[in-house]
Amino acid sequence: MPLKSISVRRAWGAIAVGSAALLCVTSAPLIGTAAAADPYSISIGPVGTYPDPTDTPAGPYIDKDGTFYLQQSASLYGAADPHYWDFFTGTNLADAKRDAAISDAVNPDNPEDKNNDTIWRCNNSPTGTEATSAPGTGYAERNYCDLMGVWVDPDTGNWIGLVHNEFTPIPFPGAVGFQHYDAIDYAVSTDQGKTWTIKGHAITSPYSTKRNDTAAFPNDTWDYGDGDPRLYVDYRTGYFYVYYGSRIQNKSGAAETTSLAHVARAPISGKMASGTWRKWYDGSWQQPGIGGNESNMLPVTAADPSGFTAPANDYSPHNPGRVNAQIAADTIPSKSPLLVMNISYDAYLGLYLGEPETVDQSNPASQQIYATTDLNSQRWRLIGDTGNYKTDSWYRWIVDAANLSNPTVVGKTFRAYCSIACSNSDGEYIDITIDSPHRSRPVSERLAYQIISGDHRSLAQNGGAVTSTPASWSPGALWRFVSNGDGSYQIRNAASGKALGVNSSSTAQRAWGTTPQLRRVGSDGPSLGQEWFIVGSGRQIRLVNRYSGLVLSLSSAQSRRADTTPARTWTDHTGSPIGGGRNAGEQSLALIPHEL
C-alpha cells in the first residue's frame, strides 16, 4: 500500500542493478485440501532494471489498434508534490516510453483538469466532493486519487479504470501515523486517455468515512476503508477481480496497525460501473461493493482450510481494546499474508498465481507465491517463494516473459516487476520460472481436433485461408495442437501442416479484428504470433494468441471470417461499430477430438 511522504517529495530514481546468478528454490508441497501433493520448483533469473518506478504498480494493456500502453500514477501529500496519471507506449514493457500527448493532456472544457496535475480531478470526483480537508497539516488536499488498472471496452473502445482515493486526512485528531480514509471509484475515457471522467463509487468501506465519527467508531480503533486495488480481468469466468486492502488503526496513542486483505468481483459486461461489484464475505460473493461487509483473506492450510477469517474473529469497531490487544485476544486478525495481491493465470501450470505484499515491511523478505485453481472460491495456497531474492515489495505486477505485454495469461516463465523498495533499487524485475510434474495438459498431441464455436461454427482451412464454416467435419477442419513446452501451443492444420497465427513483427497484427493466417511453422519472422494459450475447460475454452492477447473468434456474420477479437462473455448491444454486434458464442470454443 502507498507509504507516501507528507513533508518531503520522494525522488523516484531507479538504481542500476547488476546481474545476479540464477537461483533455484524447491517449494514445499501443497497442503490443506489439495487433491495431490504437487511439488513446485521456482527458478529466478538475473535482476534487471525498470526505469520508471512510481507510487503505483504499472498497468499494461493493448488498445484496439494494437498499440501497447502502460499506465501508472502518483499523488503525494505535500503542496508542491506531484499529482499525475502517466501513460507510456511502445512495443511492450521493454521499450515503452512516456507518452507526452496523453500524459500532459488538458481537458479542453476545463483547463484545471489535467493528467499531469490531477488535484482538481481528485477533489471534484465523487469521493473528493464527500471528503473534508485537514488544514495546517502535511496534507495539502482533501483527496488524492490514482488511476490503478485500465481495461479497454470491446464494445466502444473506451478506456475504463479503477481509481484509488485517499481522502479526509487525519480523520481522528489523536491518531498517529498513516492517516486517511480509502475508497475505490471507476473512471472512463472516451478519447484514449487524454481526458477522464470519474463516474462513481465501485468499492467502499463497510463503515463510516466521516471525520471524527465517534458514533461509528465508539471504541479504540478505526478502519481506514478500501483501497490499493489490483485489477485482474479473467478470461475464464467473465469477471473483473479486484484485490484490495484495509487498515485498522488506533484512534489515539501508539501507532499500532494491522492490514487486512479483501477481494471483490464484477461481471465484465458491467464495465466496472457502480452497483456491479460484489465483495467476498464469509466464503461467498454476497455483499455489495458499496458499503458491504468483507472478509479478511488468509492462505489455506491444513489447520485452516477456509481461506478467510471467521466473521466472529474479524474486525468490528464495537470491539474494545487497541489494535495489538485485539490481535492478542483474537478479535482482530494480524496482517494478512495475502494483502493486495497481483495475480495472473499460468497456462503452463493451469493455476492462478498471486504475489502479495511482504508481511514484514521493515525488513526485505522472499517474495511468496500463492496459487489457486478457482477464483470463485478464493482458496490460495503457498507454493513457494523467491529464496535469496528479497524485497520489501511495495508495488508489483507480472507479464508473460515472451510477449512482455500481457498480464492476464502467462507461460512457464513470467516477468515479475517491482516499483519502490525492491531488492536493491526502486525499480527492477526478475524472470520467474515455475515447474511441476503435474503441469496442465488440456489437449493430447496424439489427436486432432475440430474447433467448434458456441455458435456452431468450425475453424477450417479453405485453400490458403482460414474461415468460419458450418460445424461439419471435413479434412480441412482438423487441427493438431503441438506443445511449445511452456504452456503455449502451435495450432497446425492436420491436412497442410501449416500453423495458425498472426505476424508478430507488426504491432498492427494486435489490432481487433485481425484475421489469422496459415504459414509455415516459424515463418514471417518471430514465432510468437503462432503461439496460443488454451484458457478454460470443457466446451468453454478460449484460444488466446500469445502475441496480441486477443482470442480466436468464429463469426457467422462477418463474411464467415475467423479473426482475433477481445475476450467477451456478453453480446454487444451498444450499436457501436467497434463492438459490431459481437457475442460470446463466437469465441467460446469446444475441442472435439479425432484419431489421426
Q: What is the pLDDT of residues 264-296, one digit of tens each?
A: 999 999 999 999 999 999 999 999 999 999 999
Confidence band for 11, pLDDT divided at 50, 70 and 90? very low
Q: What is the pLDDT of residues 413-434, one digit of tens each?
A: 999 999 999 999 999 999 999 9
pLDDT at 57: 97
Angle at Cα 16 formed by Cα 13 and Cα 22, nearest 5°? 135
Q: What is the pLDDT of residues 347-401, one digit of tens each?
A: 999 999 999 999 988 899 999 999 999 999 999 999 999 999 999 988 999 999 9
> What distance lies between CA 582 and its chain's CA centroid?
24
Question: At 120, which helix (H) or strand (E)?
Answer: helix 119-123
- Give every CB contact of residue 560 below 8 A, 6+ residues apart in sequence: 457, 467, 468, 469
Residue-wise over 464-487: b if at least 16 C-beta within 10 A, else e? eebbbbebeeeebbbbbbeebebb
β-pairing, 227-233 vs 257-267, is unpaired
Q: What is the pLDDT of residues 20-48, one digit of tens each?
A: 333 333 333 332 233 335 699 999 999 99
β-pairing, 409-410 vs 342-346, is parallel
pLDDT at 559: 60
Q: What is the pLDDT of residues 476-521, one digit of tens each?
A: 999 999 999 999 999 999 999 999 999 999 999 999 999 999 998 8
pLDDT at 524: 53
User: Out of 25-39, 215-229, 321-335, 559-573, which region has the weakest mean confidence (pLDDT)?
Assistant: 25-39
Query: Would residue 562 be called left, alpha or beta, if left means φ above 0 and alpha means ψ between -120 and 50 degrees?
Result: beta
- Model pTM score: 0.93
pLDDT at 522: 64
428 and 420 Cβ atoms separated by less than 8 Å: no
CB count in 10 Å sphere of residue 532: 25
User: Out of 207-221, 317-331, 523-537, which region has the weakest mean confidence (pLDDT)?
Assistant: 523-537
DSSP 331-358: SSPPPPTTTT-EEEEETTTTEEEEEPPP
Whole-number percent of the chain with pLDDT over 70: 92
Domains of the chain: 27-35+55-397 (2.115.10), 447-595 (2.80.10.50)
pLDDT at 8: 24
